[in-house]
Structure 1
């Protein structure tokens, strides 16, 4: 295993881009789903233009129309697609046809081992394991029981309740491909440079 990768999700202001350009996480996330972090295509375009070209942007979608997802990828606004809703085999197959070279991440709001193993069968490149909160597709800031994670062959992003204090313990325990953070690096709903820096430092210095 190489170093654990870092994804800072839910960027929405030019200020956020300035922060990540300086701190260089491995991925950033733009949320196109209903959420307080939602942005539209126009905003995403502006953010991508300002973003360091070496940092891939992940588009986060919940049951989004396939043409919309395809367009954002083809225009170079996002480089990876994260499906956070009830997208099934057929949906994923369609996306693959349209975007054969785009890495796909399927989010699982963890409730059981069986559910994660089921998701692993989907034709995606990565899973993202997040906390199940009724009626909420991610960004809840709460953790889940890591004992529910089975042995997986697919690399996965670990999300849900991670912060600078607990991230290293979670990395040691789960050995995930990447860690994903959003609300824990915010203050009053806005990305906080000090918190992002501390989170990234902890992960990068993790032995």
Structure 2
């Protein structure tokens, strides 16, 4: 059964919603503007998170020291990379952070699939490219992926069944769990229940 991650939580009420419906992972975003949280905000949100839910820190070309600090203090448990981080960056990160690493790729060509396949990250994420944009790429490219992957981009209550038929390791949802730019508990509930009901 696929797992589910609700990404881009920013408010205490977002944490209350996920605590009630128990996705496998949540994402705290340390990049961009729309859903970005500061380390201090992230610590507060993480302190209120149910211990059964894994907190993933989402970064774009971040200083490794920032990631190390957030991991060491327990604010994040996994790391998700959405920038131009290369294999040297991943090696340096592994040297000081003993956490699973997810690397995101924009999937629009066979060359993109090859880069995804070659990543040394623990998990790879296939996306449209504009993290949290809600845009969907051509999901037929996932047929060429030969390792466990996370599917993101354009997943909503209306498209999640189609997404789950692709048998990803997990689905990663941000804007699809929102109304008016904020997480909506009814959508989180519906998305989690769709994933949990599927065999």
Asked if residue 126 in structure 1 is aligned to residue 119 in structure 2, the reply is no
Partners of 2:74 and 2:158 in 1: how far apart?
A: 35
Matched-pair contact (CA < 8 Å) for 2:107–2:126:
yes
Q: Note the 1:137-156 alignment, pairs <5 A.
A: 137-156=130-149
Asked if residue 111 in structure 1 is aligned to residue 81 in structure 2, the reply is no
Name the structure 2 match of 1:204. Answer: 196
Q: Note the 1:32-111 alignment, pairs <5 A.
A: 32-99=30-97, 101-111=98-108
- Choose which of 181, 186, 190 in structure 2 pairs with 1:189: 181
**Stretches of 4+ aligned residues off by more than 6 angstroms:** none
Partners of 2:196 and 2:51 in 1: how far apart?
A: 21
Partners of 1:141 and 1:156 in 2: how far apart?
A: 18
3-state secondary structure, aligned to 1:149 = helix
Q: CA offset at residue 196 of structure 1?
A: 0.7
Q: Which runs of no fewer than 5 residues in structure 2 stay unpaired?
A: none
Name the structure 2 match of 1:24. Answer: 22
Name the structure 1 match of 2:159. Answer: 166
Matched-pair contact (CA < 8 Å) for 1:29–1:57:
yes
CA RMSD of aligned residues (A): 1.1
With structure 2 as the length reference, what TM-score do the two structures score?
0.96
Q: CA offset at residue 84 of structure 1?
A: 0.2
Partners of 1:105 and 1:154 in 2: how far apart?
A: 13
Q: Which runs of no fewer than 5 residues in structure 1 stay unpaired?
A: none
Partners of 1:67 and 1:107 in 2: how far apart?
A: 20
3-state secondary structure, aligned to 1:57 = strand
With structure 1 as the length reference, what TM-score do the two structures score?
0.93
Matched-pair contact (CA < 8 Å) for 1:163–1:184:
yes
Partners of 2:187 and 2:143 in 1: how far apart?
A: 31
